[in-house]
Amino acid sequence: MADTLNSLVLSVNETMNEIGMPQITEDQCRQFVGNGAKVLIREALKAGGDEELTRFEEAFEAYRRIFDANCTYEVKPYSGIPEMLRQMKKRGIKLGVLSNKPDRQAVHVVSEIFGGEIFDVVQGQKEGVPRKPDPTAALSIAGQFGIGPKETLYIGDSEVDGATGKAAGMDTILVSWGFRSKEVLREASPEWIVDRAEEIMDIIRGVKR
């Protein structure tokens, strides 16, 4: 829903700089994200030469602090997303966000970028709750809306999201404007891959099959 790449690159590289490790590129960051903050830092450390992850605890503690201060840095909605969300709300559709980013930062980013009235539930990664692609959190959010997986449309931008939707038994849309190539998205076998936000509304209206 929002382009967060710059905030992630900045936070990882400030972390790496603080502990005296090499920085990562934007392309590397695109590949490392999607499985949560711990995986992101592990991959950044390995890319910098710490294959044994001897600096992990130090780096992760620094990253949590730095990302907390920079989680909205240059974050902006993708094209057409605010309009799409407003159309969904007018239709009475319940909207939720499920992120593998830490919960505190996920809630902050969504509130800062979209306000507090659009999404009914916003949930990031929490201790004790398995992260995506485990379907537990996705099914929990659907349950909070009083609906089952067959009544839920799961929208994401990565193979992790594709696996989450599949594991939850939810029809899944993957969008091509995120961090993964179409080839990677196709391998996840979603029901749809879309290139524009308007196509999501077509699917909801039953126009696009």
Burial class (CB in 10 A: 0-12, 13-18, 19+), 26: exposed
DSSP 113-134: HH-SSS-SEEEEE-TTSPPTTS
Angle ∠(122,128,131) on CA atoms, nearest 5: 60
pLDDT tier for residue 105 given thresholds of 50, 70 and 90: very high
Whether residue 25 is predicted with pLDDT greater than 90 in this model: the reply is yes
- What does the block give as tokens for 59? 């780096």
Whether residue 209 is predicted with pLDDT greater than 70 in this model: the reply is no
The mean per-residue pLDDT over the stretch 98-112 comes to 95
d(C-alpha 181, C-alpha 121), whole Å? 28
pTM listed for this prediction: 0.89
Q: What are phi and psi of 122, to 5 degrees?
A: -130, 125
Average pLDDT, the chain: 95
d(C-alpha 171, C-alpha 151), whole Å? 9
d(C-alpha 195, C-alpha 52), whole Å? 39
User: What are the tens digits of pLDDT across the range 151-208?
Assistant: 999 999 999 999 999 999 999 999 999 989 999 999 999 999 999 999 999 999 985 5
- Predicted confidence at residue 207, as pLDDT, reads 57
d(C-alpha 2, C-alpha 203), whole Å? 20
Please list, residue by residue across 184-197, b when 16 or more beta carbons sit within 10 angstroms of its beta carbon and e when fewer do.
Answer: ebeebebbbbbeeb
